[in-house]
Structure 1
């Protein structure tokens, strides 16, 4: 029935129907991805606070924290594999089909994570099962993130791609808010013993219901116009040649013809990826372990910072539609560099208000760039290799710097007797590299998303 309604509406007013589908696409991409990121963000929070004790208790406190954060990185390490597999299939089968698969896999793995036994119950099998499910999560998210981005951007009109991209940029901070708000509420309602016993499991189990909602929303979205045009082109070629034409290997196309673009975009996103995980994962550990701040206060600060990140993502996408992707990214990159240099000195002051301000500014300007990333990556690759190229660049950056950043930060803090300046040097260097990659890139605003470049 809904198909008939959409078809008749499209015939009567094609522009209105296209705008309606574009809004539905960005809603499905945003909601679905935010729900998936909720599970991923939830893991990051408990990995820094609860999991060291429950799954790695045989180690000393620092080694236990490092092992727990390493399990967090394992999920990010699996993302490039998910990006390659889902990217190839997404460039062959379509964006919509892959999005339905990845959100389903993510939901099942998160639900099972909520049922895991602890180290005290099954010994070494507990961390093995934890890491295994984490890898499945990362694999699914590796394909999901880019698929959702392309679903929304390829449906959008050229003049509105940036703001749609910014809407996608709110997924991660929105999920961080939901994850921290959930844990904040549970920690307030339950005793410390009950929270460690079963309280942390509740959001993992409940997230499965939310993922079902994401599947329902995505079922209402059609395939993107860019992919449909590519499919029709292949069918026409097949008719002319009297046989079915098999499309080129998307991975081979990226590696042969677009490897410089993929490498440049990967190195660019190494900066924002590292800074994001430094703030949302390591900072909670630093505030509670090194500065003696209560966990609930740390959760509250992260929630406020992620509200600023939502504003930053929307502002980045909007500004990129006005002044271009490149110039907007340069603004965001410069501001994150300034925040990086003053971040830890302000945290060490112990002022709640100043801590809230610097965390909000730092994460806000970091997500300012992430709000532009979806549209910039999409406009940098041709349709037949867009999913693969974008996914490789995005997941590759998270593998190289995003996942390892909390582990590197803990190790550097330990090696330099609690001084954070080595962390500042590493993050500042990555930020400078990111700035240089933006400078050497071309402006993509106005690029056609249909056909080859």
Structure 2
């Protein structure tokens, strides 16, 4: 196990990598809600343009399972750190290039086509990032603090929403609507060059997880002793030997994905259409994400004391129960009630998402952990989050009521309750007695 100084470096690196990687992924959603309908789909009505923009947002999710498969395979073979770095470099370059795409007015249909291709590349990259960031901390964490340490990778997406919204708030406040649609929206994308620099820093300064290095050492010993070793793809092994766990991992993240993207993307679009200013809508999402940032480590720490499943079951029920109150508050069009809705969602989602990294770690053996966790997470993402803003917008346009959106979130929540309820408890208090070195976590 890593010493305190190395753990601090790992935690900071995982948090930074997760935050900036998701920043790149999330600014697309904010841009889709605010300007992409006019920049890339100006020839259609505003509502159709918004739906088209959200459809391109969803394309990234379609490719996330592919990223999970590719990076999971090599992450279980070559190492967690190396795949995390590659994912960051791919994401940084793709996002930077989105900021350079000419508009529809300049190159016609080629503009949204290029946008779709680069969004697909973003999806592949973020599909591989989660497993690397999550495992590099959980595999090095003290066994009695695995939930808390894993939450550092979980906090990244919410911090990314805060960061992306701050960037857009500055951009929106500093220029006219015409300038924003013309060139201002490019600034948040071009800032993604920072992600490339961070990826190179991580490559140089941190080491792979101890658990993975032990796997490599055992494999080397078997090879030197001429012991026959069955060579099978880690992703095939995960699907063949742990199909139930993969499905449970996908199911438990489902409502988080649906709810979160309705909160961070659909709410912004709905609020601005209802006459709320862009800046105010972004502030609602920002404050909601701040609550999530606080609740994620808090409930992860609770799971270190009472067990993962107990926390996750209660959180899944609370999240599902909050769906209709959330949409009814949003549907009032009142900015203050929208804020209450955002804070409600922020607490429940943080409670559910917080312990999940440790739960995923404990669900799969080390040799297929990157593959199993990544595939399960990304399947839940593509089924849940990818087209949640599109589905929510379409449901509202079709029914004329936000209650249909509440029914959508509730259905996802019921599936997540089943997934968590059917999973076995993975936390073992006696795990602290395993043959691990004791680390003074108070200094971390």
TM over 0.5: yes
In 2, Cα distance between the equivalents of 1:400 and 1:408? Answer: 11
- Partner of residue 3, structure 1: none
* Aligned counterparts, 1:251-330, within 5 A: 251-289=235-273, 291-330=274-313
In 2, Cα distance between the equivalents of 1:288 and 1:93? Answer: 46
In 2, Cα distance between the equivalents of 1:213 and 1:155? Answer: 21
Q: Is the 8 A contact 2:89 2:199 kept in 1?
A: no
- Partner of residue 86, structure 1: 71
- Partner of residue 422, structure 1: 404
* 246 and 105 in structure 1: CA distance in 2 versus 1, 3 angstrom threshold: farther
Deviations 1:363-399 (A, max 9, x none): 2311322221111111100111100000000000111
CA shift for structure 1 position 114: 0.7
Q: Is the 8 A contact 1:119 1:127 kept in 2?
A: yes
TM-score by length of 2: 0.94
In 2, Cα distance between the equivalents of 1:342 and 1:229? Answer: 49
Secondary structure, aligned partner of 2:232:
coil
In 2, Cα distance between the equivalents of 1:218 and 1:365? Answer: 35
- Partner of residue 393, structure 2: 410
**2:355 maps to 1:364:** no
**Structure 1 unaligned regions, length at least 5:** 1-14
In 2, Cα distance between the equivalents of 1:83 and 1:399? Answer: 11
In 1, Cα distance between the equivalents of 2:265 and 2:302? Answer: 28
In 1, Cα distance between the equivalents of 2:58 and 2:181? Answer: 22
Q: Is the 8 A contact 1:92 1:247 kept in 2?
A: no
CA shift for structure 1 position 247: 4.2
In 1, Cα distance between the equivalents of 2:244 and 2:230? Answer: 26
- Partner of residue 437, structure 1: 419
CA shift for structure 1 position 213: 2.5
- Partner of residue 338, structure 1: 321
Q: Is the 8 A contact 1:168 1:371 kept in 2?
A: no
Aligned length: 433
CA shift for structure 1 position 246: 6.3
In 1, Cα distance between the equivalents of 2:338 and 2:200? Answer: 38
RMSD across aligned positions (CA): 1.8
Deviations 1:146-205 (A, max 9, x none): 111011110111011111122222101101011111111111111111111111111111
In 2, Cα distance between the equivalents of 1:388 and 1:339? Answer: 32
Q: Identify which range, 90-99 or 343-352, moves more after superposition.
A: 343-352
1:38 to 23, 32, 37: 23
Q: Is the 8 A contact 2:328 2:403 kept in 1?
A: no
TM-score by length of 1: 0.92
- Partner of residue 23, structure 1: 8
CA shift for structure 1 position 22: 2.1
In 1, Cα distance between the equivalents of 2:227 and 2:168? Answer: 60
**2:201 maps to 1:216:** yes
CA shift for structure 1 position 126: 0.1
**2:113 maps to 1:128:** yes
* Aligned counterparts, 1:76-155, within 5 A: 76-155=61-140
In 1, Cα distance between the equivalents of 2:193 and 2:171? Answer: 18
Deviations 1:326-378 (A, max 9, x none): 01112211221222120122123343333212201212311322221111111
2:380 to 397, 405, 408: 397
